[in-house]
Amino acid sequence: MARWIEETFHPHWRVRLEASKVLHEVKTAHQHLAIFENETWGTVLMLDGVCQLTTLDEFVYHEMMAHVPLMALAAPTRVLVIGGGDGGVLREVLKHPSVAKATLCEIDRTVIDLSLEHYPQIADGCFDDPRAEVVIADGLKYVADTRERFDAIIVDSSEPIGPSAVLHTRAFFTDCKRALKKGGILVTQNGLPFLFPEHLRATTEIFASLFRVASPYMCTQPCYFGGPFALNWASDDAGLLDVAEATLARRVTKRGITARYYTPAVHRAAFALPGYVAAAVDGLMRAIKSTVKSNVSTNNLVAKKAGRR
């Protein structure tokens, strides 16, 4: 008899997924982890009652986390991924031939080991790439202590509960900014703004206070129940938000990137915010007029720290 596993993140409603076979379930030192098979979604990972990935649609999130910042950069060489023990973001990062080193900092070795055991197709061998470095550590402490400087930092955390809560704080993002090279890009996941607009607003407020430019962007992630999914971008180089579609297309071809969700047109359009998302960050953001002449949409609102030159 199949078991139904419930997502408990939402306070007033529940979503259940049928587990035709539970592959692994454990309470680690950091979180409750469940891996199971579902006839529609494939293999599913849930952490602390929140759906993290499925093998059916993982490519959406991982491509948008990695390619949006890296395609905006002419030749990224050093990239840091915080979290992401399944290897999906690291896999996409390493598709960029200019990347000489990609560091993955994961707090829980169990996540990596079980991912490789139960859905190795997500990592697709990326942990064996000589350019990949895996550090088992608290991401908060790592960015506070590291002396390395990165072209991009990608925060592939879970929701702001449990051990991931610190990866949504001002202190953490401040240290991320310090660990970036001049003109580097910071991106993070920002949840479901239809249900949790306060999450998006809080991160955008922090980003706008630390960087010259911040802008949420969107993707449609089917297994994240509750509407389109938000990510967030921050950089001191405003021009990186306005890379032309033709330039992005040339970079895709030159780098030999293959993707199922990401395209240059999607890259540009992802920053066009639905009205309710723009409303969630109203007062924190304003349209770029003189600094960035955006052709994406009049709804492409970009936060800029007031008074920063």
Distances (CA, A) of 181 to 43, 80, 176, 186, 224: 37, 12, 10, 10, 32
| Residues 112, 133 contacting (CB under 8 angstroms) | no
- The answer for residues whose C-beta is within 8 angstroms of residue 86's C-beta and 6 or more apart is 45, 52, 53, 58, 111, 112, 115, 119, 122, 123
Of the candidates 227, 200, 181, the one whose C-alpha atom is nearest the C-alpha of residue 69 is 181
- Kindly write down the DSSP assignment for every residue of 164-196, as one continuous string: GGGGGSHHHHHHHHHHEEEEEEEEEE---TTT-
Helices and strands per DSSP (H, E), number in the chain: 10, 13
Whole-number Å distance between alpha carbons of 132 and 30: 24
Integer distance in angstroms from the first to the last C-alpha of the chain? 63
Whole-number Å distance between alpha carbons of 175 and 72: 22
Whole-number Å distance between alpha carbons of 142 and 69: 21
**Residues annotated catalytic, as ranges:** 156
Token code pair at residue 229: 């999914």
Phi and psi dihedrals of 136, rounded to 5? -95, 105
Query: Which secondary-structure segment (H or E) carries 16?
Result: strand 15-19
